[in-house]
Amino acid sequence: MNMSMSSGQRIIVRCMCGGTRDNHEPGCPQERLNNLVTQQRHIRCPKCGHPAVGVNDDDFYECRDCHTQYTIANMFENAEREFLDDPRASDIRAVQVHPLKGTGKFRLDKLIDEARAELVKASKKKRRH
């Protein structure tokens, strides 16, 4: 009996690592990328409105667009206060606006870029066989 027409609904999505989407082989670059992406944040910036706030290498919140920095600690006297809706925090975060702009250094973004590049390289390699 030919089952090929009805097999679509039961299809298991295979990953390039040889495992499946829910069960990767150890060291799978796709899984590594997935894990990094879940840690990445794009919170709406109270200053410029872009969904671009993440955590920078100095552990401040920083907008990738306008580079305003926000801190959850009370570091500054009379600093402007704002709120950030961080999906990884249990509450809306009350923050202070840092008087200095950030420099756009996001380790996580860099790691994600590297993981993507690695993945592209790996999938090209695989296609050649």
| Binding interface with Zn ion (CB under 5 A) | 15, 17, 19, 24, 28, 30, 45, 47-48, 63, 65-66
Residue number with CB closer to Zn ion (22 or 91): 22
- Sheet bearing 81-84, strands edge to edge: 43-44, 51-55, 61-63, 69-71, 93-97, 81-84
Minimum Å distance from CB 107 to Zn ion? 19
Residue number with CB closer to Zn ion (23 or 74): 23
Residue number with CB closer to Zn ion (22 or 77): 22
Residue number with CB closer to Zn ion (5 or 17): 17
C-alpha 22/C-alpha 101 separation (Å) is 40
Phi, psi angles (nearest 5°) of residue 43: -85, 145
Minimum Å distance from CB 6 to Zn ion? 27
Q: Please check whether residue 104 is in contact with residue 64, taking contact to mean a CB–CB distance below 8 angstroms.
A: yes
Minimum Å distance from CB 94 to Zn ion? 18
C-alpha 71/C-alpha 98 separation (Å) is 6
